[in-house]
Amino acid sequence: MNDPSQRATVERLVRHYGEWAGEEIAPGTTQVTLSSFRDFQTFVTDEFNDTRRYVWRGQQSADWELESALARRIRSQKKSVPEDAAKSQLVRFKKAVRGRRGTNAAHLSDNEIWALGQHFGLATPLLDWTLSPYVALYFAFADPDRKEQSPHRAVFGLNRTNVRERSRLLKQIKKRISDASNGITFFEPDSDENSRVLSQRGLFTISPVRTTIDDWVAKHFKKSPPQTLIKILIPNSDRQDCLRMLNRMNINHLTLFPDLIGAATFCNVHMDVTNY
């Protein structure tokens, strides 16, 4: 989608805030480096006018690609036909959950089954996103540092409007397309068995298992403005200050995970962050 206003927005940001390093790192993708987490609110609310067209995802390391757990596992095992491996995983999980969802369990579509599995740690082709950039920011910083921690954490913004339109065109061109064969599908579960999705304003992408979302955008937006995917880097050193700010905004594991796991993780984060 060729929208000059989007390109002008990022160009204006880089001109106005010289300390923010904005660059097109791949076709369709812009990376913006913030000097502090305090710049995040200004970026997503005051300066970047298209936040409602985007879905957001936070990741602990800026080095990680946008790839589902199932795609990553299939790639590491070098499966020759990734689509068959995904189908086999779904069939296994359907059989494994029989008798474990309570009495009179509702019939669920395949995507709902995947979402249920994602909720309980199953490797699925789904990738979690949220409608709130601040929830994404929390997930970027929630986990403690790893042994070899990247100097930046990352929040991604994916233009849902652009991606839906491009996926629709792919469907017309290819004549046939399953939910995750060539395009990217956005899926919001209706099942009552996934309360976390509501608390997190969450939704999922279902994308081809042969590629990452980063590479998919680069492949299909070669002649488009570089704002289909926005990668925002925030210094990892800001973790404690950022989590304190988000806690005061009532964004923490207690509100995002309305269950015992959320309560336990909230207490663990409280131990890590002073004056939480």
The tens digit of pLDDT for each residue in 168-220 reads 888 777 655 444 457 899 998 876 666 778 788 889 999 988 899 999 999 99
The tens digit of pLDDT for each residue in 231-245 reads 999 999 999 999 999
In whole angstroms, what separates CA 264 from the centre of its chain? 23
* Segment (H or E) for 247: helix 239-248
- Which residues, including other chains, have CB under 8 Å from residue 189's CB and lie 6 or more apart? 111, 112, 115, 197, 204
Produce one character per residue of 228-254: b if its CB has 16 or more CB atoms within 10 Å, e if not: bbbbbbbbbebbeebbebbbeeebbbb
Indicate if the pLDDT at residue 264 is higher than 90.
yes
Indicate if the pLDDT at residue 14 is higher than 50.
no
15-20 — which CB contacts under 8 Å span 24+ positions?
A: 16/47
The pLDDT, as a whole number, for residue 265 is 94
Residue 230 pairs in a beta bridge with 30, 157
**Residues 177, 170 contacting (CB under 8 angstroms):** yes
State the Cα–Cα distance between residues 161 and 30, nearest whole angstrom. 17
Q: Domain tally for the chain?
A: 1
The pLDDT, as a whole number, for residue 223 is 79
Q: Are strands 152-159 and 229-235 parallel, antiparallel or unpaired?
A: antiparallel
76 pLDDT band, cuts 50/70/90, is confident
Helices (H), 1-156: 4-16, 39-41, 69-76, 82-96, 110-119, 133-141
Query: What's the first-to-final CA gap in the chain, in angstroms?
Result: 43
**Residues 191, 106 contacting (CB under 8 angstroms):** yes
Averaged confidence pLDDT in the chain: 86
Q: Which domain holds residue 252?
A: 4-272
The pLDDT, as a whole number, for residue 198 is 78
4 pLDDT band, cuts 50/70/90, is low
The pLDDT, as a whole number, for residue 3 is 55
- Which residues, including other chains, have CB under 8 Å from residue 75's CB and lie 6 or more apart? 67, 82
The tens digit of pLDDT for each residue in 242-262 reads 999 999 999 999 999 988 999
Question: What share of the chain has pLDDT > 90, as a percent?
Answer: 58
Q: Which of 32-46, 47-61, 90-104, 132-146 is least confident?
A: 47-61
The tens digit of pLDDT for each residue in 96-116 reads 999 988 888 888 999 999 999
State the Cα–Cα distance between residues 237 and 235, nearest whole angstrom. 5
Dihedral angle sign, alpha carbons of residues 240, 242, 245, 250: negative
